[in-house]
């Protein structure tokens, strides 16, 4: 009983922190993505092809929904304190797997954020040049890296959803 309550408290704090951080990162990325697409058609095309803005919005809403379900599940568990020993081992496994998934999502979101900042810095530098409207912008290296991070993000998010579904959370 004490272990289960303590573990639930630690799980709750860890998940809430990870969820909060992921949501903030997603919001920051969405704001940047909106700014990138305004003056540069090839960046807009890239954003449309990768569909990253929509993916991040869905991730944000999914994580918010997951947090709500987690709160509801905890309320239900407080009402039904049956079979505590069996539930402790299952909860421990669920917590470790979900925590690892959230860490992976956060890690790739952070890497994607860095690449998006590099793209933004490249745009700012390009616009500081004399006659920049006649020049080519050189940010392809960062777009290629961002594409790789987007693929990894999509794979990790897909895996996260599969794990959530398999644990019936």
Q: What is the pLDDT of residues 58-93, one digit of tens each?
A: 888 888 787 777 666 666 666 665 555 555 555 555
- The answer to whether position 67 is within a domain reads yes
Reported as half-sphere exposure (CB side, CA atoms, 13 A), residue 98 has a value of: 24
Q: Does residue 87 lie in a domain region?
A: no
Residue 112 lies in a domain: yes
Question: What is the pTM assigned to this prediction?
Answer: 0.77
Domain count, the chain: 1
- Residue 86 included in any domain: no
Looking at the domain assignment, is residue 85 inside a domain? no
pLDDT digits (tens, 9 = 90+) for 111-155: 988 998 898 899 889 989 999 889 888 999 999 999 999 999 999
| Closest to 161 measured CA to CA, from 54, 42, 59, 43 | 59
In this structure, is residue 88 part of a structural domain?
A: no
Task: For residue 143, give its domain range.
Answer: 2-79+94-166
User: Are the C-beta atoms of residues 149 and 115 closer than 8 Å to each other?
Assistant: yes
CA angle 78, 81, 85 (to 5 degrees): 125
Tens digit of pLDDT for each residue in 8-40? 444 555 666 666 677 777 778 777 777 877 788
């Amino acid at each position: 009983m004490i272990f289960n309550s303590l573990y639930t408290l630690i799980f709750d704090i860890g998940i809430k922190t990870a969820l909060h951080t992921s949501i903030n990162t997603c919001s920051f990325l969405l704001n940047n993505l909106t700014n990138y697409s305004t003056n540069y058609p090839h960046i807009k095309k890239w954003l449309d092809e990768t569909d990253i803005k929509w993916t991040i919005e869905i991730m944000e809403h999914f994580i918010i929904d997951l947090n709500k379900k987690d709160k509801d599940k905890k309320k239900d568990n407080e009402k039904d304190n049956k079979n505590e020993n069996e539930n402790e081992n299952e909860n421990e496994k669920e917590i470790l797997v979900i925590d690892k998934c959230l860490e992976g999502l956060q890690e790739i979101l952070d890497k994607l954020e860095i690449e998006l900042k590099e793209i933004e810095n490249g745009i700012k530098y390009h616009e500081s040049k004399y006659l920049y409207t006649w020049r080519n912008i050189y940010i392809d290296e960062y777009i290629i890296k961002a594409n790789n991070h987007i693929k990894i993000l999509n794979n990790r998010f897909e895996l996260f959803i599969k794990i959530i579904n398999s644990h019936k959370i």
